[in-house]
Amino acid sequence: MKVEGVTDAYVLPRDEGELQRLNLQYAYLKRLVTDGRVIYDKGVDITSEFRLLDSATGTGAWALDAAEQLPTSVEIHAADLSSNNFPPSPPSNVHFSLASVTNLPQDWTESFDFVNQRLLFGALLRKQWTEALSEIYRVLKPGGAVQFVEIDLYHPVPESPTVMHYCRVHEETFKKAGLFCDVGRNLHDLLLGYGFIGVKSEARHNPMGKMWGEIGMQGAKAFGGALRKAWSIFVKEGAVKTKEEYDKLMDRVEQEWDEQGTQYHCMIVTARKPFV
Ligand SMILES: C[S@@+](CC[C@H](N)C(=O)[O-])C[C@H]1O[C@@H](n2cnc3c(N)ncnc32)[C@H](O)[C@@H]1O
């Protein structure tokens, strides 16, 4: 099932294979970006009455992990535009809903202590980010906290030739499609503009490829998998003529990851809604 009447700009499928990939990616990012924590900011005071929202939850990986780590009295909501990847029988304190982050339920106003949102750089148009940030601000209680995780594909280290070529093709294609693909680096200023306070933005390294051993191979499987599955937007926007051409480019990108030990940055951005 899916929310009707909302522009769905998401570049990836929502099938069983994608469910596996998202869960693998969750484990990878938890280890490398949030240092093993579901709530990165150690200053967030989690009470037994806490209400959390996982916005654009996908498979619910974060919400289910939060349910395992936090007391059962904590109420966890998880919303997505599509219910395709929702788990069949979540714990009783985890509530899944169909909702667009651009138009969250009216009765959620000022009802959450914490909102988590990850990896929408390939899902929301620029205008939709404006709506999403204002909706997240609305549903947070005064004093509530937020965390965003967004990968930055455009500043890899080292800047090897095929990887840089792919970066340019990726950025041009996603921008042509109207996606806010470099949102990660812009979130700090955007959040300040919405009235959030205490905004902190950190860039964490995400290693890709065999040179990094098991963690690099996990990264390549998670992110390489996503980039490969996004092939149709590259054909649609004219970057390549066919899927085969795109696959060949991705073969060369992944080979370079293995040989060069490419690292991308992943942005973790945290902030608070002021009390007044
Ligand atoms: C890359 S997945 C990330 C899922 C999850 N946040 C994670 O980190 O595993 C992007 C998710 O955003 C959802 N999505 C796309 N547009 C959305 C919208 N307007 N409102 C809510 N969810 C949306 C997709 O259905 C998909 O589940």
Q: pLDDT by residue (tens digit) across 107-157?
A: 999 999 999 999 999 999 999 999 999 999 999 999 999 999 999 999 999
3-state SS assignment for residue 164: helix
pLDDT given for residue 163 in this prediction? 98
Predicted confidence at residue 153, as pLDDT, reads: 95
Looking up tokens 């654009």 gives: 56
**Could you tell me if 28 and 222 are in contact, meaning their C-beta atoms sit under 8 angstroms apart?**
yes
34 lines ligand 1 (CB under 6 A): no
- Fold for 16-272, please state it: Rossmann fold (3.40.50)
Cβ–Cβ < 8 Å for 86, 62 = no
For the chain, residues with pLDDT lower than 70 are: none
Residue 109: DSSP 8-state: T
**What pLDDT sits at residue 9?**
87
Ligand 1 pocket, residue 186 CB under 6 Å: no
Task: Compute, in angstroms, the gap from residue 79 CA to the centroid of ligand 1.
Answer: 9
Nearest-angstrom CA–CA distance, 102 and 6: 9
| Ligand 1 atom with the shortest distance to the CA of 56 | 22
- Would you list the domain boundaries of the chain? 16-272
3-state secondary structure at position 71: coil
How far is the C-alpha of 257 from the C-alpha of 206, rounded, in Å? 11
What is the CA(25)–ligand 1 centre distance, in A? 13
Residue 57 identity (one-letter amino acid): T
Q: List the residue whose alpha carbon is closest to atom 16 of ligand 1.
A: 123
How far away, in angstroms, is 234 Cα from ligand 1 center?
Answer: 20
| Contact predicate 66/52, CB 8 Å | yes
- Select from 115, 144, 138, 118 the least CA-distant residue to 45: 144
Nearest CA owner, ligand 1 atom 4: 58
Rounded to whole angstroms, how far apart are CA atoms 273 and 195?
Answer: 7
